[in-house]
Amino acid sequence: MNCRLRTACSDGFTLVEVLVAVAILAIGLAALFGQISQSVFTARYLRDSTLAQWVAVDRITELRLENRFPDIDETDGEIDMAGQSWRYTLIISETLWPDLRRIDVSVSFADTPDSIISKATGFVGRPGTGEPLPPVLPPRYTQGELE
């Protein structure tokens, strides 16, 4: 480039161009960090709600495996799972059928019991009151046809 006057030549970026580029970069990085922060929050929320659901379902399963008909009651308790202390409230209530109980479990963190993370509902029947089910056997194949 043949420049005689220094003001007519463009040897680099002006200060305004650099400031505009830095501003665009700052806006882009702020949006990127906002998305990363949202992703971390969502992953943490999903982990906590999944573990809380497991705690609730575990309590219902424990009651079912006791092989006894539970009394109508409301109990609280704490349990540790996955390095976290959980607080649960278990409500056993009547149903329209006298041989069936409803179990409602709500789960929260142990340090914030008023903030419920997950709820689960299950049912427990009185052992030995139902008709026995016939055994379910797979169909047999003989000469290419089902019996």
Q: Where are the domains of the chain?
A: 31-127
Give 75's pLDDT tier (boundaries 50, 70, 90).
very high
Q: Which fold has domain 31-127?
A: Pantoate--beta-alanine Ligase; Chain: A,domain 2 (3.30.1300)
- Cβ neighbors of 68 (< 8 A, separation 6 or more) are 127
Q: Is the CB of residue 60 less than 8 Å from the CB of residue 122?
A: yes
DSSP state of 141: E
How many Cα atoms within 13 Å fall on the side-chain side of residue 138? 3
Give the H/E segment covering residue 30: helix 15-65
pTM passes above 0.85: no
- For residue 100, give both structure tokens: 């069936």
Q: Give the pLDDT confidence of 89-142 residue by residue, as tens digits.
A: 999 999 998 889 999 999 999 999 889 999 999 999 888 766 766 666 666 656
